[in-house]
Chains A and B, each alone.
Chain A
């Protein structure tokens, strides 16, 4: 077991983070291509919006796995945590951009009303706002300037953001549907794994 983990850790050390960026940004042109060619179905706007949102949520969840994988299995993927976080933010931003430009046709009045009146949009927007300072401070300069302790404290907002993302998904579907509930269960499970540390 430990030899396998060592091998993985060794392999991981050789994978540059830019490779992960490129790999995980490939879905963007692919989805745009599908949307234009009918691959996303008869209503490509909603489909594109949902795909981007779902990828963002998956990236946030993968990011949450890094610490438990290291603590429980000794698997060290720490170097990818910032990469995953910034990619997740990118997808959330694209998701928001599709909503603003394609879905809502830049109808600012209606969007403003939606942000305040429709709880799932309020929550989604709050999740985006929670990620914004994290994206801005995801660089070495910010860590140095803020000091490691307060930087870490700020970045606990990740947990808030991912929970808001999960609620956003559950709330936006009609009726009781399984997929968003499964996402939420995984998110809560991953947060529960570190509840002791979070309480400190």
Chain B
């Protein structure tokens, strides 16, 4: 079920990439008609109009991908070495059709669409990123989720020869993440394979990475090689490293104090030396869409 969500960020905000604009004008009509009303997909935000998509350079030259080093420019410097062809994603656990899925076969079966999402790092910086990709729900549907499955575990490639950062025990490798099944099936949750209409660069998680826009960026695991459906809450890398600071849910929440960073505000990357902080939005501005997933939960405890 592709196209279940319609961009709330306006088209004219992405103006600096002519290629992307051409593709958008072709797809805009199709996207407009298919939003699911029940998900509140057409909710609009006061802040929306002021947001501008981050530049391609900011998106691809300032990020975290600790397998290539802990510096913000390390991924752009070193990720070129990663071999992304051929690429297979092992889908296993509680699915009807477990197996190794070739990246090309996945791409043939999926409908690629554009999603302009806010991206909020737990380190209190943010960007607005025009992703291309497909809904994770569609990929899971391809493998057939069994009725007992409750969680989805995801794993990043671990290639020591090509990843200089994994020599250091910053985290336990490989990097692993997880979502509750309803989070994974939500129309906002996507697997991104492109940025600005181009193939996603290695440093941003080629050839395919998760994007969960209402959670802190570290949940959006890169270069996925394995997806496991399970009935138990899977371990997640940052939670294993420091459970007090990084919970399983890690929803963007300006009201929950993180021991290391105030989450009340954020800086949008790209504003230079005098860039001001802006207030952080509950669920990164996606509360209307995803708030109901957490009904009855105490979000100050279930971090």
Interface centre among B72, B260, B261, B274 (most CB of A within 10 A): B260
Chain A residues within 8 Å of B62, by CB: 41-43
B270–A104 CB distance below 8 A:
no
Give the contacts of A100-136 with B (CB-CB under 8 A): 102-105, 107, 110, 113-114, 117-120
B70 touches A43 (CB 8 A): no
Residues A32-51 near B (CB distance < 8 A): 35-36, 41-45, 48
Name the CB-closest residue of B to A175.
B170
Q: In terms of DSSP, what is the predominant structure of the interface of chain B?
A: loop
**Shortest distance in angstroms between B83's beta carbon and chain A's nearest beta carbon?**
26
Judge whether A45 and B267 touch: CB under 8 Å. yes
Which residues of chain A are near B259, meaning CB under 8 Å? Answer: 117-119
Structural contact, B277 and A43, CB atoms closer than 8 A: no
Q: What does the 1/0 interface line of A147-186 toward B look like (CB < 8 Å)?
A: 0000000000000000000000000111111100000000
A63 to chain B, nearest CB (A): 28
Task: Determine whether B299 belongs to the interface, using a CB cutoff of 8 Å to chain A.
Answer: no
A175 and B257: CB pair below 8 A? no
B70 CB contact (under 8 Å) in A105, A172, A173: A173
Complex Cα gap A103–B62 (Å): 17
B72 in contact with A105 (CB, 8 Å) = no
B73 partner residues in chain A, CB cutoff 8 A = 41-42
> Which residues between 1 and 44 of chain A lie within 8 Å of chain B, taking CB atoms?
35-36, 41-44
Name the distance in Å between B264's Cβ and chain A's nearest Cβ.
Answer: 6
Which of A41, A42, A48, A117: most chain B Cβ within 10 A?
A42
Q: Please, which residues of chain B bring their CB within 8 A of the CB of A41?
A: 61-62, 72-73
Cα separation A181 to B170 with both chains bound (whole Å) = 12
Q: Mark B260-284, 1 if CB is under 8 A from A, else 0.
A: 1110110101101111110000000
Contacting residues, chain B, for A177 (C-beta < 8 A): 70, 168, 170
A contact patch SS: helix
Distance, CA A36 to CA B274, complexed state (A): 10
A113 to B272, CA, bound (A): 25
Distance between A180 CB and nearest chain B CB, rounded to angstroms? 11
Number of interface residues of A (CB under 8 A): 27
Chain B residue, CB-CB nearest to A109: B264
**CB neighbors of A among B51-94 (8 A):** 57-58, 61-62, 66, 70, 72-73
Please tell me if B169 contacts chain A, counting CB pairs below 8 Å: yes
A119 to B245, CA, bound (A): 12
State whether A176 and B273 are in contact (beta carbons under 8 Å apart), knowing that A42-B62, A118-B261 are contacts in the complex: no
Contact A176–B170 (Cβ < 8 Å) = yes
Name the distance in Å between B144's Cβ and chain A's nearest Cβ: 37
**A175 with B265: CB separation less than 8 A:** no
Does A42 lie within 8 Å of B267, measured CB to CB?
A: no
- Measured between alpha carbons, how far is A171 from B49 in the docked complex, in Å? 38
Set A107, A114, A118: member contacting B277, Cβ < 8 A: A107
B293 within 8 Å of A by Cβ?
A: no
- Which of A45, A105, A118, A172 makes the CB contact (< 8 A) with B273? A45
Q: Is the CB of A107 within 8 A of B260?
A: no
Residue pair A105, B277 in contact (C-beta under 8 Å): yes
The CA-CA distance from A48 to B272 in the complex, in Å, is: 11
Question: In the assembly, what is the distance between CA of A43 and CA of B275, in Å?
Answer: 9
Tell me if B241 counts as interface (CB < 8 A to partner A). yes
Shortest beta-carbon contacts, A-B, top 5: A42-B62, A175-B170, A105-B277, A105-B276, A44-B273
Show the binding face of A for B, using Cβ within 8 Å. 35-36, 41-45, 48, 102-105, 107, 110, 113-114, 117-120, 172-178
Given contacts A107-B277, A118-B262, A178-B168, 16 further A-B contacts (CB under 8 A): A35-B273, A36-B273, A41-B72, A42-B270, A44-B272, A45-B267, A45-B273, A45-B275, A105-B277, A110-B262, A110-B265, A117-B259, A173-B70, A174-B260, A175-B170, A175-B171
